[in-house]
Chain A
Amino acid sequence: QSALTQPPSASGSPGQSVTISCTGTSSDVGGYNYVSWYQQHPGKAPKLMIYEVSKRPSGVPDRFSGSKSGNTASLTVSGLQAEDEADYHCSSYAGSNTPYVFGTGTKVTVL
């Protein structure tokens, strides 16, 4: 199972929006509505931000939203804030033998 493809970096000014893509195949992203997004600050463990393509866990601001079309999922961060500067990783379910396929990761910079 190959890693999902994400752009290495993305950036935006405070208050702007940034969208990150996550491209897989019909065996993972395209085959299931089980795409998650994780935020990771330097030296810290990842934190779940989006699950099942577009659902937010309790406590995650509604500035974070997710979507999917075909084999590509997207995470949008609206109204960028300084604390949103972090690495973002997508993942998809790909069957019981491979419960998680992760993306290559995207570093988001708030200019």
Chain B
Amino acid sequence: EVQLVETGGGLIQPGGSLRLSCAASGFTVSSIYMSWVRQAPGKGLEWVSVIYSGGSTSYADSVKGRFTISRDNSKNTLYLQMNSLRAEDTAVYYCARGNWNERTVDSWGQGTLVTVSS
């Protein structure tokens, strides 16, 4: 059974840093493409970043240069390093498993809340 468990969210001051983790089970994170998707309070979903099986990455313009996606194959875990956090980064962050053939997210984690506030 596929399972994704995010951790690392919390309250952080503007300008601070936070690292989110997504522990995967039931599949190998290095074999497919994985994304982070966020949802601000009361808003829609927003794609944040992707890492492909080959290791290439891409970012939404809103986080480019501040966020870094990575994975640890030995731990089967996906990460999102978030620096220079802003109030507008406040959201629930979801780990999302991609299905390349269908270009869709076929599994989601439960989400972790990041609140950026002084």
A interface residues (Cβ-Cβ under 8 A, vs B): 1, 3, 6, 32, 34, 36, 38, 45-48, 51-52, 55, 57, 89, 91, 93, 96-105
Contact between chains at B104 and A97 (CB < 8 Å): no
Indicate if the CB atoms of A52 and B45 lie closer than 8 Å.
Answer: no
Nearest chain B CB to A106's CB is how many angstroms away?
9
Question: Are A100 and B37 interface neighbours, CB within 8 A?
Answer: yes
Residues of A with C-beta under 8 A to B106: 48, 51, 57
CB distance from B16 to the nearest CB of A (A): 26
Summarize A's interface: helix, strand, loop or mixed. Answer: loop
User: For the complex, what is the distance from the CA of A102 to the CA of B39, rounded to whole Å?
Assistant: 11
| Contact between B94 and A45, CB atoms less than 8 A apart | yes
B45 and A99: CB pair below 8 A? no
Given A99-B98, A104-B44, A45 contacting B33 (CB threshold 8 A): no
> Which of B44, B46, B50, B110 is A99 in contact with, Cβ under 8 Å?
B50
CB A4 to nearest CB in B, in angstroms, measures: 9
A sample of 10 more A-B contacts (CB under 8 A), given A99-B50, A100-B105, is: A48-B105, A48-B106, A51-B106, A57-B106, A89-B45, A91-B105, A93-B103, A101-B47, A102-B46, A104-B44
Rounded to whole angstroms, the CA-CA distance of A93 and B43 in the bound complex is: 20
- Which residues does chain B contribute within 8 Å of A100, judged by CB atoms? 35, 37, 47, 105
Set A45, A51, A97: member contacting B109, Cβ < 8 A: A45
Complex Cα distance, B45 from A103, in Å, reads 7
Q: In the bound complex, how far is the Cα of B103 from the Cα of A32, in angstroms?
A: 10
Tell me, rounded to whole Å, the shortest Cβ–Cβ distance linking A41 to chain B.
12
Q: Known contacts A3-B44, A89-B44, A99-B47; decide if A38 and B58 are in contact (CB<8 Å).
A: no
- A46 and B108 contact, CB distance less than 8 A: yes
Q: Scan B26-57; emit 1 where CB is below 8 A from any A CB, else 0.
A: 00000001010100000111110010100000
